[in-house]
Amino acid sequence: MDVQLRNNVKVVGPPGAPVVVLAHGFGCDQNMWRLVVPALAQRHRVVLFDYVGSGGSVLSAWDEDRYSSLDGYARDVTEVCAALDLRDATFVGHSVSAMVGVLAAQSAPERIGGLVMVAPSPRYIDDEGYRGGFTAEDIDELLASLEANYLGWSSAMAPVIMGNPDRPELGNELVNSFCATDPAIARVFARTTFLSDTRDELRQVAVPTLVLECSQDAIAPREVGAYVHAQIAGSQLITLDATGHCPQLSAPEATVQAILAFLETRR
Amino acid sequence: MCRTGDVDEPFESGSETGTDAAFTALLEDSAEELYEAAPCGYLSTLMDGTIAKINTTLLDWLGMERTSVVGRLRFPDLLTVGGKLYHETHYAPLLRMQGSLRGIALELKTADGGRLPVLVSSQVKFGSEGEPLLIRATVFDASDRRAYEKELLHRRQEAERARAEAEAARRQAEADRGRLADALAVLQQSLVPSSLPAIQGLESAVYYQAASPEQLGGDFYDLFPVDDKRWAFFLGDVCGKGPEAAALTSLTRYTLRAAAVHDPEPQVALRTLNAVLHERYADSGDPRFCTCLFGVVEPDPRTGRALVRLASGGHPSALALRTGGGAELLPTPGGMLIGVLPDARMRTAQTTLNRGDTLLLYTDGLTEARTGPDAGSMLGEDALLSFAAEHAPAAPRELIAALTGLLADATPGPTDDTALLALGVPFTDHAGTADG
């Protein structure tokens, strides 16, 4: 299957400009980046995509085995990079995608030359000598919350939602459509995300890296940001004055500034 | 509603004083009162979630004081941890992107440690410049409804689990069936030779088809040397199908092979087989028998002739296709079913194959094949003889190909096992063999 179709790939910005790949995390889709794309696309080629199973991706390409490990998502990234023949791109990953970017950069070093990790966490569940912010019971509770909101998903509406992600005229009827996901797929993504432990991968990072954290993030607390920064040699840590887990939505200007400043150092 | 003009409106004839009193009461219900004591919770937050305003109904549900909530807590602080995660990954992003949300299922933590299932709808209030100012949320108590939904979810999970188990069982059964088919195929291969030997001055061809891949076939054949001049061959059909028939086939094949090496005289070999089968099955309570043609051929490359000696145990006669055209049955008199009586009588018949002559041995899968033009009547021996005569002369390989074509046209397809063995003296002297 055509990877660009499969992953609903969108490319904006001047051809030939340095490439920035924006990867959404668990929950929604590439629309998460809509407030920062215009500023980034002025002087950069911006690549947007949805992981298989999310947003406008081709659901039939989803496979439980593959997407039950972060490596499966990293393969989506490297396959999108290969389909566009990207070289030395900067990968901006939000939330779990920050760690997906770390894995992708390891397997395709020629394609990914820099990482921006937005609100990253290599492990969400507390461990001995490590505080991720959650207990295993908390994650079960999240899965229950997802189950409770399955009711927002209707298999009859799914083709409409999936087939027309860019048709705002459908918006009124399709409230919550940006985050509408097949419940079975969402459950697998949630488990894979929140039960992951990729702390050992951090030391392997060999490309310039910017860690962007929020001052008040219920999912990735400050300690986790500091941990990620400490584990990646030579990384840069910026704490945005933002509340919540999605600075690209709650503090888009500050987020853009930080990303652009990092991109300048890579020119 | 459309007024029809000439019909009295029922409300106009009602009690005007009662209606007035109700309206008056409504007018005294101030907006403030409506907000505070509404049958649902109201909540307004800043864009970062800090609670700016909350109504009494919601405070009562939470069991909290206004002073400890307003300006002190953020909306996610009211949620369970799972709800917080959902808020960060779905709720907040969606609200930012679409400006409103409807009917999100969450749980509030109450002051006494309880949990209140709610449905939340939110709307962003925008300023004159389109900048987001605050978030308004309406909170509905969904305890009953959520209990019912949980029940439904529980049932669905059970159904999904049952489906997964059924699927696993189906896969296991499929795997078992595959292993069984593999075992049967190996067993089946032990009942017939994997290929025919190349013989100087004699050409051979064979066709073998079990009626169904899951059933072991009951037909058998073989061709093997008995000394440096002579070759034994046989073809037959055991009664029945399946494992018992396969055991009988195996016993038959190896008995005939051993008997032929001891004494290749056809009637002797078949009598030996008869004795063995009778001894084995007659008193077992499960009498079993077979039919069989057994022969010995002695090709003479020098003269281009092959002497054939042939005996039958209750089996349809062999056919000979002659080099000058025409075909004939080779009568094998006195043949009785093998394994039925303790002492079977058989006699050996003899014929000579000249260059271009072909001998055909077949099982009833061929003559009972529904190849007839009129709605699947059986081929029969007479039609087979005519078919052979039309095709004579035919080398073994050509004859088997022609018969295979005939079988392929049968409707319905093969219902019985079919074995065909053809032996012929080639026009040239080179040895030849071909498996059908």
DSSP per residue over B69-124, as a string? HTTT-BGGGGB-HHHHHHIIIIIHHHHHHHSEEEEEEEEEEPTTS-EEEEEEEEEE
Give per-residue pLDDT as tens, B264-309: 999 999 999 999 999 888 877 778 889 999 999 999 878 889 999 9
Cβ-proximal residues to A177 (8 Å cutoff; 6+ apart), any chain: A161, A165, A170, A171
pLDDT at site A161: 41
Residue of A nearest to B107 (CA): A145
Domain A3-122+198-266: assigned CATH number: 3.40.50.1820
Give contacts of A25 with chain B, Cβ < 8 Å: 89
Of residues B21 and A204, more confidence is placed in: A204
Confidence class of residue B412 from pLDDT cuts 50, 70 and 90?
low
Confidence class of residue B431 from pLDDT cuts 50, 70 and 90?
very low
Does A218 contact chain B (CB < 8 Å)? yes
* Residue numbers of A annotated as active site: 95, 217, 245
Mutate to test the interface with B, among A145, A167, A179, A246 (most CBs of B within 10 A): A145
**What is each CA distance from B164 to B46, B96, B159, in whole angstroms?**
46, 39, 9
pLDDT at site A188: 92
A151–B90 C-beta distance less than 8 A: no
Quick one: what percent of chain B has pLDDT higher than 90?
47
B74–A151 C-beta distance less than 8 A: no
Query: From CA A6, how far away is CA A56, in angstroms rounded?
Result: 8
pLDDT at site A150: 59
Q: Is the Cβ–Cβ distance between B290 and B248 less than 8 Å?
A: yes
- Please determine, for residue B8, whether its predicted confidence score (pLDDT) is greater than 80: no
Give per-residue pLDDT as tens, A36-91: 999 999 999 999 999 999 988 998 999 999 999 999 999 999 999 999 999 999 99
Does B78 contact chain A (CB < 8 Å)? no
**Bridge partners of residue A123, in order along the sequence:** A197
Range from B88-102, B208-222, B386-400 carrying the lowest mean pLDDT? B208-222
CB environment B413-422: b (16+ within 10 A), e (fewer) = ebebbbbbbb
Q: Is the Cβ–Cβ distance between A212 and A235 less than 8 Å?
A: no
Query: Nearest 5 degrees, angle CA A239-CA A244-CA A250?
Result: 85
**Bond preceding residue B412 cis, omega within 30 of 0:** yes
Short-list B205, B334, B344, CA closest to B269: B344
Q: Which residues of chain B from 121 to 160 reach within 8 Å of chain A, CB to CB?
A: 146, 149-150, 153
Dihedral angle of Cα B165, B166, B168, B173, to the nearest 10 degrees? 140
Does B49 contact chain A (CB < 8 Å)? yes
Does A36 contact chain B (CB < 8 Å)? no
Instruction: For the beta carbon of residue B67, count every other beta carbon within 10 angstroms.
Output: 8
What's the mean per-residue pLDDT of chain B? 86
- State the smallest CA–CA distance between residue A28 and chain B in angstroms: 7
Give per-residue pLDDT as tens, B323-346: 998 999 988 877 788 988 888 888
Range from A36-40, A127-131, B141-145 carrying the lowest mean pLDDT? B141-145
Give per-residue pLDDT as tens, A92-115: 999 999 999 999 999 999 999 999
Domain B192-435: assigned CATH number: 3.60.40.10
What is the number of CB-based contacts under 8 A between chain A and chain B? 114
Short-list B286, B306, B283, CA closest to B295: B306
Structural domain boundaries in chain B:
26-141, 147-189, 192-435
pLDDT at site B274: 93
A250–B48 C-beta distance less than 8 A: yes
Does A248 contact chain B (CB < 8 Å)? no
B101–A28 C-beta distance less than 8 A: no
Structural domain boundaries in chain A:
3-122+198-266
Of residues B67 and A157, more confidence is placed in: B67
Q: Is the Cβ–Cβ distance between B270 and B315 less than 8 Å?
A: no
Q: Which CATH class is domain B26-141?
A: alpha beta
Q: Is the Cβ–Cβ distance between B194 and B172 less than 8 Å?
A: no
Range from A128-137, A139-148, B150-159 carrying the lowest mean pLDDT? A139-148
Query: From CA B407, how far away is CA B426, in angstroms rounded?
Result: 25
Indicate the residue of A28, A175, A250 with minimum beta-carbon distance to B101.
A175
Query: From CA B239, how far away is CA A76, in angstroms rounded?
Result: 61
Short-list A252, A245, A267, CA closest to A118: A245
Longest CA pairwise span in chain B (Å): 133
pLDDT at site A169: 43
**Bond preceding residue B393 cis, omega within 30 of 0:** yes
Does B48 contact chain A (CB < 8 Å)? yes
Confidence class of residue B5 from pLDDT cuts 50, 70 and 90?
very low
Of residues B149 and B224, more confidence is placed in: B224
Give per-residue pLDDT as tens, A186-239: 889 999 999 999 999 999 999 999 999 999 998 999 999 999 999 999 999 999
Short-list A207, A209, A220, CA closest to A121: A220
